[in-house]
Structure 1
Amino acid sequence: MADIHIQRSHQLGLTGARKVAWKWAEQAEAEFDMACAYEEGDDCDEVQFTRSGVKGTLRVSAEHFELDAQLGFLLGAFKDRIESEIVKNLDELLAEKKKKPATKAASGSRKK
């Protein structure tokens, strides 16, 4: 079996991190046919994910994400590719969350 361990720090707080984790789980289900179960905790959430040849956990806290996955024999041969895809997806989701929506400056003039 091949193991994958990924950790990413963030400054989103638990509420923001939950949003990212939910989106990650939705993508994992849609794109990789994973079965995901999300469990919220007081200070840490867990996403359990499985499919044939893969099982793992994404732990979500106010400060970091930590993903551990075990790949079966057949998928173990693709460990580097699978790991890089997970890293890419998680990093993209974190980058999206960091972007703040543009706010319009208040205009000093009003039509009457």
Structure 2
Amino acid sequence: MSHIQLERNHTMEKAQVRTMTEELGQKLKAKHGGDYCWEGDTVHYKHSGIDAKVSFDDKTVRVDVTLGLLMSAFKGMIESEVSKYLDENFA
């Protein structure tokens, strides 16, 4: 298994970060399938070979992704895409 952990600081209101995180969950589900659910200020996304969570507080957004054996081959691409998304939306 491979693991990706990324973190970005933000200056947005917590409600805005929550809305953006909800939209991300909806996009992932629509584009790739899988499902997501909320637990407090953390959204969990699961799909075949991917277990991810996005958590946030007043200043930080954290992404933690665990990739199964087959998805590990795509770690670099996934990490790059997640990093790009965080830079474009939260930095």
TM-score (norm 2): 0.88
Based on CA coordinates, which of the two structures has the bigger radius of gyration?
Answer: 1
Q: Deviations over 1:40-99 (max 9, x none)?
A: 3xxxx000110010102111211111111110011101100011112222333336xxxx
Quick check: 1:38 aligned with 2:34? no
Indicate the RMSD between aligned Cα atoms, in angstroms.
Answer: 1.5
State how far apart, in whole Å, the 1-side matches of 2:22 and 2:72 are.
26
State how far apart, in whole Å, the 2-side matches of 1:53 and 1:7 are.
22
2:47 counterpart residue number: 51
Change (3 A) 1:24 1:91: farther
Quote the offset at 1:13 in angstroms: 2.4
Q: How does 1:1-112 map to 2 (within 5 A)?
A: 1-40=1-40, 45-94=41-90
- After TM superposition, the runs of 4+ consecutive aligned structure 1 residues lying more than 6 A away are none
TM-score (norm 1): 0.73
State how far apart, in whole Å, the 2-side matches of 1:54 and 1:6 are.
15
Give the letter aligned to residue 54 of structure 2.
L
Q: Give yes or no for contact 1:13–1:61 (8 Å, CA) kept in 2.
A: no
Aligned residue pairs, count: 91
Ranges in structure 1 where 5+ consecutive residues have no aligned partner: 96-112
Q: Give yes or no for contact 1:11–1:63 (8 Å, CA) kept in 2.
A: yes
State how far apart, in whole Å, the 1-side matches of 2:64 and 2:44 are.
10
Ranges in structure 2 where 5+ consecutive residues have no aligned partner: none
Q: Give yes or no for contact 1:20–1:94 (8 Å, CA) kept in 2.
A: no
Q: Give yes or no for contact 1:24–1:93 (8 Å, CA) kept in 2.
A: no
